[in-house]
Structure 1
Amino acid sequence: MGYNVVVVGATGNVGREILNILAERHFPVDEIAALASRRSLGTEVSFGERTLKTQDLDAFDFTGWDIALFAVGSDATKQYAPKAAATGCVVIDNSSLYRYDADVPLVVPEVNPEAVEDCAKKNIIANPNCSTAQMVVALKPLHDRARIKRVVVSTYQSVSGAGKDGMDELWEQTKAVYNPTAEVAPKKFQKEIAFNVIPHIDVFMEDGSTKEEWKMVAETKKIVDPAIKVTATCVRVPVFVGHSEAINIEFEEFLDEDEARDILRESPGIMVIDKRESGGYVTPKECVGDYATFISRIRQDSTIENGLNLWCVSDNLRKGAALNAVQIAETLGNRVLKKA
C-alpha cells in the first residue's frame, strides 16, 4: 500500500526534479497529482514512464492526499500550504517560509531524521536552504566525533539556485560576450553574471550580511546544534548547476584529517573523492544528477588548534532541494505514516 502524493509547482525546475526522483527511488505511490498555477494549467510533466497533465492549484482539494511536496515560492506556500495541512495532508515545503518556525521541523534526513516526528503541530515539514543542506550532511558526523565550535564557510553557488530565470540570464549573457552587437542587461542578478562572480545572494541585512548568509547560520543551528558558531560568505558564480563550498571547521578537540576522511567515507549521503593529485577532487559540473554530497580537499588547518578544511560539492537541485524533499517523504513514511 502506497501514498497519495501531490507535487505543487510541478512545472518548475525543482518540481520536475521531485517527480524524477520520486520515480527513480521507486517511492511507493498509489496516486499522484501534479499542480501548477493557472498560467501553466495543462502543461505535461514526466513521472517515470507516465505523463501527467498539471492541475489547477487554486481549485485542488487536498482531502484524502497523504503528502504534498511544495516547490513554489513563499507567497504561494503561505496561501496554500495551511489549506493542505488542514485536510491532514503533510506538507513538505521547499520555500523559506516555515524554516524558522519553532513548531515546524527543519529536516535533513542524514542529520536529524527524528525531527519528522514533530510535524504534528502544523502538519508541515520544512526543507532547508540549498547551501545549508549539503554543508550539514558533512558537518554532522564530524560534530558527533569532535564537537564543532565554529564554522567559516564560503559558498560558490550556481545560477540554478535562482531558478530558470537565473539560468537563462547566464546563457544569454554568455552568448552576448561573443557577439559585440548584443548586450544583455542584468535582471535576475544585481550585476552581470557571465564570466563574473557576485558576492550577493538575497537581500542585505542591517549587520552587512545577506539573508542567504543568515540562513546558513540559523539553519545550521536548528538542524545540528545551536551552540555552533557559523559565519558565511555566499557568492553567485557562473555555473548552471551545482553548489560548492569551502568549509573551515574548528573543533573542541583534535580531529586528525585521516580519521575525518574515514568518518566521512562511512557517513550516509557522502562520497569522498580526495586524492592529492591533479584532478583528485570533485567540481560542480561532475556532481550534476548525482544524489551524493561530495567531499574533497580534506586537510588540517595548522593556523588554529583543532582545525580542518574541506571542499563540499553537491547538485543543488537534488540534495539542495528535490532529493532532500523526497528523502523527507521517505523518512516520514517510515517513522510517522507507516502505510507502505
Structure 2
Amino acid sequence: MDMKKYNVAILGATGAVGQEFLNLIEERNFPFANLKMLASKRSAGKKIQFMGKEYTVEETTDDSFKDVEIALFAGGAASKQFAPAAVKAGAVVIDNSSAFRMDPEVPLVVPEVNPQAIARHKGIIANPNCSTIIMMMALKPLYDLSKIKRIVVSTYQAVSGGGKEAMAELEQQVDDIVAGREPQANILPGAKFPKHYQIAFNLIPQIDVFYDNLYTKEEMKMVNETKKILEDDSLRITATTVRVPVYRSHAESVNVEFEDEVSVEAARKAIDAFPGAIVRDNPAEQIYPMPLFTSGKNDVEVGRIRKDESIEHGLNFWVCGDQIRKGAALNALQIAEYMIEHDMI
C-alpha cells in the first residue's frame, strides 16, 4: 500500500533553516505531495530547484495555507503573524521561533525526549531553542537514571545561529585580518543592537537582549525551556551563552548535580543507548566531540564525561550538535514524522 503523502508549506524557505528543511525532506524521503515555498515579500519570486522541479517562492499571506496539512515555520517574526491563519486553514504548525515556546497551550517538543506532549497540541507545536535541544539530547538519558537537582551550562554557539549575515561577516573579517585590513563589525551580537563587535578571533558573551536579572534572553530560554520539556519546575538551572568564531555546530559545557550517584560508566551507557546521541569519549586517544565533526550531522555527540569532584553527586560533560539540523530543521521534521507515524495528522 502506498504511504499517504501530505501537502507541506515551508515558511522561510530561502533562509538557512528553510534550506535545511529541503535538504532533510529529500534525505529522509519525507512523504510530501505538494510543497509550497513561502517567504517575505522581499524574497517572493525567487526560484528554488528541488528534487528535479522548479518552485517559485511566494509571499506569505493569511491565504497561503489553503489545503496545507503540515506547515514548517523556519522562525522569526512571521510565526506570530501567520501561525493562527495556518491553523485556521487546517494545518498543523511546527514552529521554530520563540513565539509560542512558553505558551502553556503549546507543546514544546524534542521527539526523543517528550513525544507524549505532541498529543496535547491545538494546532501549533513549538521547536525548542537550538541550545536547549542539544543539551536535552544528553540530559534526558541522565535524568532517567537519577533526578537532576541542578544544571550549570556554558554554551559555545556558532555564528550561523545569528543567520547568513553573521556567517558572511566572520568570513569577511578573517579575510580582512589575514590581508592586513581593518575588520568591520556590523552584525554581532545582533543587527538590532547599537554596538557591534568583531567575532573573528574573539568571543562575544551576549546572545540576544539582556533582562533585568542580567541574564540574556538566550540564557533564560535554556532555563525555562528545559523545565517545561522535562515538566520539572524544581530544577535549578543557570546558563551563560557565548558566540564563538565557528561557522556551524554549537558546543556546550554542562555540569549536572543529581539526587543519587550516577557513575561515569552508567552515564556513557545511557547516553550511547539514547536515540540521536553518540558518546565520543576516549581521552587516552584524544577523542571528544568537536563542531568540526558534528557539522552537517544529525546526531548529537557527547564526551569529556567525568566526575565533578567538588560535589557529592555530580558529572561534567561536553556536547556538540549541529544547531541548524538537530537544533532546528531536523527536530521539527522529526515531530512531523512522529505525527505521521502515529496517525496524528
Q: TM-score, normalised on structure 2?
A: 0.94
Inter-partner Cα distance in structure 2 for 1:278 and 1:49: 45
Letter in 2 for 1:277: A
Match of residue 162 from structure 1: 162
1:207 aligns with 2:213: yes
**Equivalent position to 2:326, from 302, 319, 329:** 319
Letter in 2 for 1:101: D
Match of residue 147 from structure 2: 147
Deviations 1:68-97 (A, max 9, x none): 001131x21111111111111010111100
**Equivalent position to 2:21, from 18, 22, 26:** 18
**Equivalent position to 2:199, from 193, 197, 213:** 193
1:336 Cα offset (Å): 4.7
Other structure's SS at 1:22 match: helix
Other structure's SS at 1:321 match: helix
Other structure's SS at 1:145 match: coil
Which stretch shows the higher mean deviation, 53-62 or 203-212? 53-62
1:223 aligns with 2:229: yes
**Number of equivalences:** 335
Q: 1:146 to 1:178 in 2, by over 3 A?
A: same
- Does the 8 Å CA contact 1:158/1:241 hold for their aligned counterparts? yes
Other structure's SS at 1:146 match: coil
**Equivalent position to 1:106, from 102, 105, 108:** 108
Match of residue 64 from structure 1: 67
Which stretch shows the higher mean deviation, 25-34 or 176-185? 176-185
**Equivalent position to 2:48, from 45, 70, 88:** 45
Which stretch shows the higher mean deviation, 328-337 or 130-139? 328-337
**Equivalent position to 2:275, from 265, 268, 286:** 268
1:286 aligns with 2:290: no
Inter-partner Cα distance in structure 2 for 1:288 and 1:324: 15
Match of residue 192 from structure 2: none
1:258 aligns with 2:258: no
- Does the 8 Å CA contact 1:271/1:294 hold for their aligned counterparts? yes
1:276 Cα offset (Å): 1.4
- Does the 8 Å CA contact 2:65/2:91 hold for their aligned counterparts? yes
1:283 Cα offset (Å): 0.6
Inter-partner Cα distance in structure 1 for 2:304 and 2:282: 8
1:335 Cα offset (Å): 3.0
Q: TM-score, normalised on structure 1?
A: 0.95
1:60 Cα offset (Å): 4.3
1:299 aligns with 2:309: no
Match of residue 127 from structure 1: 127
Inter-partner Cα distance in structure 1 for 2:216 and 2:176: 29
Match of residue 244 from structure 1: 251
Inter-partner Cα distance in structure 2 for 1:48 and 1:315: 24
- Does the 8 Å CA contact 2:63/2:85 hold for their aligned counterparts? no
Letter in 1 for 2:306: R
Deviations 1:263-296 (A, max 9, x none): 1111111011111135311210111111001001
1:228 Cα offset (Å): 1.6
Inter-partner Cα distance in structure 1 for 2:50 and 2:270: 36
What is the aligned-residue RMSD (CA, Å)?
1.4
Deviations 1:231-267 (A, max 9, x none): 0000000000000000000000000000110111111
Q: Runs of 5+ in structure 2 lacking a partner?
A: 190-195
1:45 Cα offset (Å): 2.5
- Does the 8 Å CA contact 1:176/1:182 hold for their aligned counterparts? yes
1:185 Cα offset (Å): 2.7
Match of residue 91 from structure 1: 93
Deviations 1:292-311 (A, max 9, x none): 01001111111110001111
Q: Runs of 5+ in structure 1 lacking a partner?
A: none
Inter-partner Cα distance in structure 1 for 2:162 and 2:262: 36
Inter-partner Cα distance in structure 1 for 2:209 and 2:31: 39
